[in-house]
Amino acid sequence: MHGLRADHNSGSSLGTSRWLEAIWEPSAKIHTLPGGLDMLDVNGDGDVRLVSTDLGSVNANSTKIRVYKGSDQITEHNMVDAPCGVAGFYTENGEPRSAVLAAGAGSSVYIFKNLRPFFKYCLPHLEAHPKEREIWHKAGLEEELNVLTLADDLDSLLKELGAAAISPRTLKFLSMDVNLRMSFAEQYRRIPLIKNNAVTALGVIRKDSWNDPACSCLIIGTENREILVLDPRAFTVMDKHLLKWPPVSFATTGLWAGDGRIMVVGRDGNIGAIRRGSPVKLWEKLEAPIVAISVLNGDGAAVAIMDGTLLGFSKKGIKVWSINVPGIILDMVSLPVPQSGLSLLAVSTAGYGVRIYDGKHHVDTIKTMEPVSAIKYGRMGQEERAMAMVTVSGGLCVKILKRTADFSIHNTIFSVTPNGGTKFVIPKKTRLFVEQTIRERSEAKKIHNTFQQGFLRLRLTIAKNALDLLTGCENTGLDPISLEANVLGLGPNYRIQILITNISDGLSDTGLFIVCRGENTEVNPRVVNLPLLPSGIPIPITIDATLINRISGKVQVLLCKKDKSKPLTFTNVILPAAEEEIEV
C-alpha cells in the first residue's frame, strides 16, 4: 500500500487536512470514465465492494467489470462490448442479500447477482430507414448481385441521411475493402435488415421506500432518445419517456412512486427533469457539452460543463449560481455529510487536483499526482464516508473523510474593504434572506401573477365544492330507496337479481328508472323503468349479464330520476371469472 501525497494549502483557511489516506495503488491498471464506478454490497455480508468498469488499454482492448475488496481484486467479468457504466441497486425493501449490479454495454444491460450473471435485458431493435431496407431487399432478390451498384446506392444514401441514420451493416459494408464486399453482401443480403439500439447511460431511483436498503428502479438511457424505467423484480419496462436528445447522465431525487424526479442531461448540452406520468421539462440548453450532474441540497442539481464552468440549478430548473473552475473538469460527484447538514461537491480537474465545493464556495482541495478520471463517494468496506478515485493512468486511490472534518469556514461571507481590512460579517441566513429579497424585487410582476393564479384556482375550487354540496342537499329530500343485488350462475352467463325497496313511510316519486353499466360485460336490458314503489315491499328485477372474455367483470347499477342529473343511489356488482370447461 502506498501513500498518496495530498496538499490542502489552497488558502489560509484550507490548511487542515480533512481526509485520511487509505489506499494508493498506482499499478491497478483501471481505465474507466465518469459513471464507471460504484460501491455495492454484492455478497450481502455487509462488506461493501468497489465495482469498476475497465475499458482496457490501447493495446489490450479488453473490456471487463472488476470488483475490489480494499486494494485487492477479488473477481472480474469479461464484457463483449465496452460498458457505458454500472449501477448497483436492491430488488427488495430491507433485504441486503437482494443487491444486484447492472452493467450497460452495446444494446444490452447485464444483471449480476452474487457476482454471477443473473439476467440480460436486451433493448428492442429499431426500424431501419425505408430507403435502406429497399436497397438491401432489392439486392436480396437479384440472382446475380451487382456489388458496384449496391455500393453506389448505399454511398448516396449515406451522404443524404448521414451516418446516424444508417444501420451498422451498411456502415461496415462501405468501410470494407472492395475485394471483400462481395462475400459480405452474399452473406447478409437475404437476412432482414435491423438496426440495434444502444445503451448510453444507467441510473437508479428509489421506488417506494426511504428505508435502507430500499428497493430501487433501474433507469436506462438509449441512443434512440428514450428513458426506460425497469421494474426491480421482473426487469420489465414500468415507464417509458421520449426525449429530443440522447441522454448521457442521470441524477435522481425522491421516490419514483411519489414525487421523485429524474434529472437528465444530453450529449448536446440539454438539461431537463422528468416526473412519473409527465413529459420531460427542459430546463436549459447549455453552450458547451456537459461532463456530469450531481444532486444538491433542496432537490437541486449541480452541472459541470466542459468549458470549466460549474452551474447550480434549483429544483424547478432555475439557474441560481455559476462559477468558473480552474482547469478542465473531468468528473464530479456529490459528497453528502448528514452530520453537518451539508451536501458538498467533489470536482476533479486536470492539473488542479480534486476541488471540494459547498455550493459555489470552494472549501477544500486535494492535490493528486495525476488527474482523476472517475470519482465515487459512499460506503466502502465498513467505512461510511469513503471516496474512491481512479487516475487517468489507471491508479486507484481511496480516501476517507474524517468524522471531525469541518467545512463551515464559508458559512459566513466576509466583506472586505479596498485596503484589505475586514469591515463586517454577514451570517449565512441573513445573506440568504437578502438574496431572496433581491429576487422578489427583480421578479415582482412574475411573483404577483403566480399568486393571483393560485388565488383564482382556490376560489374556483371552493365554488365547485359549494355547488356539489348544494346539489347534494337537493337530492336528500327524496324518499330513501335501497338496492340489493345478487348474482346467480357459474358463468360466463350470469343473472343479476335486484331487489328495490322503498324504506320510507309513503309512496316513492314517479319517473324512477334503473341504468346498468357493464365493464367487460354485456348487460340486457340496460335501462328498466320502475313503477310506484309502495312502502316496505321489495320489487324484484332480473338482469342478464354475459362476460366478454374469461376475466372478471363489473356491473354498476344506478337508480336515477328523470329530472335529476345525478343518480340517487348506486351499487356495484362483481362478476367472477368463468371457470374453464373440463372435458370428461
Q: What is the DSSP string of 380-424?
A: EBTEEEEEEEEETTS-EEEEEE-TT---GGGSSEEEE-TTS-EEE
**Cα 37 from Cα 407, distance rounded (Å):** 26
416 pLDDT tier (thresholds 50, 70, 90): very low
Domain check: are 179 and 276 in the same one? no
Average pLDDT of the chain, as a whole number: 84
* Residue 159 · residue 151 · CB < 8 Å: no
Domain co-membership, 82 together with 215 = yes
- Establish if 156 belongs to a structural domain: yes
User: Do the beta carbons of residue 227 and residue 264 sit within 8 Å?
Assistant: yes
Domain assignment of residue 253, yes or no: yes
Q: Which pLDDT belongs to residue 298?
A: 65
Whether 546 is in a domain gets the answer yes
Q: Are residues 497 and 561 in the same domain?
A: yes
First to last CA, the chain: 76
Domain boundary residue, one of 149, 173, 194: 194
Residue 48 included in any domain? no
Whether residues 117 and 217 share a domain: the answer is yes
| Cell of residue 463, nine digits | 365554488
Contacts of 505 (CB under 8 A, 6+ apart): 535
The mean pLDDT of 396-408, rounded to a whole number, is: 84
CA 26 – CA 394 distance, rounded (Å): 7
Mark whether 256 and 211 lie in a shared domain.
yes
CATH number of the CATH domain containing 522? 2.60.40.10
Q: Which of 284, 301, 319 is the last residue of a domain?
A: 284
Task: Cell 354475459: give the residue.
Answer: 546
Other CB atoms closer than 10 Å to residue 243's CB: what's the count?
Answer: 20
In a domain, 367, yes or no: no
- Do 517 and 537 fall into the same domain? yes
Verify that 136 and 265 share a domain, yes or no.
no
pLDDT of residue 387: 92
Is residue 138 located within the same domain as residue 254?
no
CATH code of the domain in which 256 resides: 2.130.10.10
What value does the mean pLDDT take over residues 14-40? 84
Q: Is the pLDDT of residue 216 over 70?
A: yes
Q: What is the pLDDT of residue 422?
A: 46
Mean pLDDT throughout 244-251? Answer: 91
Phi-psi region of 302 (alpha: psi -120 to 50; beta: other; left: phi over 0): beta
Q: Is the pLDDT of residue 250 over 50?
A: yes
Adjacency order of strands within the sheet including 512-519: 527-529, 512-519, 553-561, 569-575
Task: Give the model's pLDDT for residue 388.
Answer: 93
What are the pLDDT digits (tens) for 341-367?
Answer: 778 899 999 888 899 998 888 888 888
Task: Write down the pLDDT at residue 475.
Answer: 52
Is residue 176 domain-shared with residue 209, that is, in the same domain? no
Mean pLDDT, residues 281-301: 87
Confidence grade of residue 340 (pLDDT, cut at 50, 70, 90): confident
- pTM for this prediction: 0.65
Q: Do 201 and 276 sit in the same domain of this protein?
A: yes
Residue 479 has pLDDT above 80, yes or no: no
**Of 238, 256, 284, at which residue does a domain stop?**
284
The pLDDT tens digits of the residues spanning 362-390 come to: 888 888 888 999 999 998 888 888 999 99
The verdict on 119 and 207 lying in the same domain is: yes
| Residue 146 included in any domain | yes
Domain that holds residue 503: 479-573
- In this prediction, residue 5 carries a pLDDT of 38
Alpha-carbon distance values, 296 to 204, 332, 343, 428, 442 (Å): 17, 12, 6, 17, 25
Domain count, the chain: 3
Tell me whether residue 420 is exposed, middle or buried, using C-beta atoms within 10 angstroms of its C-beta: 0 to 12, 13 to 18, 19 or more: exposed
Same domain for 278 and 154? no
The residue assigned the cell 482492448 is 61
